[in-house]
Amino acid sequence: MSETAALSQPRSATNPWLIAVLVALATFMEVLDTTIANVALPYIAGGMGVSQDASSWVVTTYLVSNAISLTASSYLAKRFGRKSFFLICLGLFTTSSVLCGFAWNLNTLLVFRILQGLGGGGMVPVAQSILASSFPPAKRGQAFALFGVAVVVAPVVGPTLGGYLSDNASWHWCFLINGPVGVAAMLLIGLILEEPASEPGKQQNEGFDVIGFVLVATFLGALELMLDRGLEDDWFDSRFIIATAAVCAAAFVAMIPWEMNHRNPTVDVRMLASRQFGASFLVMLATGAILLGTTQMLPQMVQQDFGYTATWAGLVLSPGGLVTMVMMFVVGRLSGKVQPKYMIMAGATIVALAMYDLTRVYADVGFWFFADSRMLIGIGLPLIFLSITTASYNGIPPEKTDQASALINAARNTGGSIGVSLAANILSHRAQFHQNRLGSVLINGFR
């Protein structure tokens, strides 16, 4: 049987839709934690007696460790087997989530968040490769629709759930809620999921690209750190940011030739040279920027400038989340009938219109102004996300599935960090600009 034919055949006797539901549930829980803590930061700062700036490291440490873990996921999934590695990651994520809920000071919370990020970083790309190998190409679009609900809707649900729990219970429950869900997911996945027959699992003993891993992890970790801390530390007026940027650039320059010439690279950057996968990578980078950039900017803006509580700030995103969920399944049905490039163009047009609509914001706009914009984005994003996810696996041989998953998820995570950083900087600079304009008007008025 050819490699293409092998990839087109489901590799498990278990109902693949049951597998899809379980890995999507675990993925939803992990992606949820990228945003659930954002609206809880004031509560964490107050509860632990630290500044808001110090509490923001709760988000930074998770993103950095998540990026580092993601780089090794391809090798570790092959070395231990996808099922075993997925369960290890899920177990680490669940245990560290509970520990985050019981953290007694900020330092211990940051340590547990690092462990949580390490576990979560390996889960998502492996979940995606499990789906790719469990479904034939004809049904893969519908399977990725379920996966897309987890990846695209979870960041929207995060602020809503985090705000509600922080306002009505305690910020600790933002992490403790993962405990029972994680244990149930581990038990069901352990019973149902099977290792692919063609996967050697523990017997596979390919050499690990240690130098490549260090270079890739350093590049992604430094990039995440620079993007997340840049605004707080005043960018290149900070020696820390300058040093981080220098480390990031040096790691990137050394990483490319090393990974291109290594026989078993940690990240196969040569895949980016292919027309289809390279284009999918770039579009996913932009999609991640729009998804997480708007998801983080809107709740912060309505809390700071419109007086919304954490709960209502999260609820602003909820109608868009419902629209996104419905659209995922609509697009999943269309994926086998319409070429991905047409759906991507339609989705990009809709998202561009939604983003332009947000430029009309002023002091007296109400709840539904923001909610309507999110619903319009919720129509466009699934058209882009699902089409790119499906197209990125076309023509990829079975042994490269894990690499493809790692790279696509790296694009989404890195793009998300870029989007959040850009949105925060533009919001800050425009606020300063308008404050200066108002100040000059007042000063001139008194003369």
Tell me the three-class secondary structure of the chain, residue by residue. Answer: CCHHHHHHCCCCCCCHHHHHHHHHHHHHHHHHCCCCCCCCHHHHHHHHCCCHHHHCHHHHHHHHHHHHHHHHHHHHHHHHCHHHHHHHHHHHHHHHHHHHHCCCCHHHHHHHHHHHHHHHHHHHHHHHHHHHHHCCHHHHHHHHHHHHHHHHHHHHHHHHHHHHHHHHCCCCHHHHCHHHHHHHHHHHHHHHCCCCCCCCHHHCCCCCCHHHHHHHHHHHHHHHHHHHHCCCCCHHHCHHHHHHHHHHHHHHHHHHHHHHHCCCCCCCHHHHHCHHHHHHHHHHHHHHHHHHHHHHHHHHHHHHHHCCCHHHHHHCCHHHHHHHHHHHHHHHHHCCCCCHHHHHHHHHHHHHHHHHHHHHCCCCCCHHHHHHHHHHHHHHHHHHHHHHHHHCCCCCCHHHHHHHHHHHHHHHHHHHHHHHHHHHHHHHHHHHHHHHHHHHHHHHHHC
**Quick one: pLDDT at residue 379?**
86
**Quick one: pLDDT at residue 304?**
74
Amino acid at 384: I
Backbone angles phi, psi at 89, to 5 degrees: -65, -45
**The overall pTM is greater than 0.75:** no
**Quick one: pLDDT at residue 8?**
40
**Quick one: pLDDT at residue 6?**
41
Low-confidence ranges of the chain (pLDDT < 50): 1-12, 199-205
**Quick one: pLDDT at residue 331?**
79
What is the rounded radius of gyration, in angstroms, for the C-alpha atoms of the chain?
Answer: 22
Residue 212's nearest CA partner among 247, 256, 270 is 256
Q: What percent of the chain has pLDDT over 70?
A: 89
CA 145, CA 148: separation in Å to the nearest integer?
5
What long-range pairs does 297-302 form, CB within 8 A, spacing at least 24? 297/420, 297/423, 297/424, 297/427, 298/370, 298/374, 299/38, 299/39, 299/159, 299/163, 300/38, 300/427, 301/427, 302/370
CA 326, CA 383: separation in Å to the nearest integer?
12
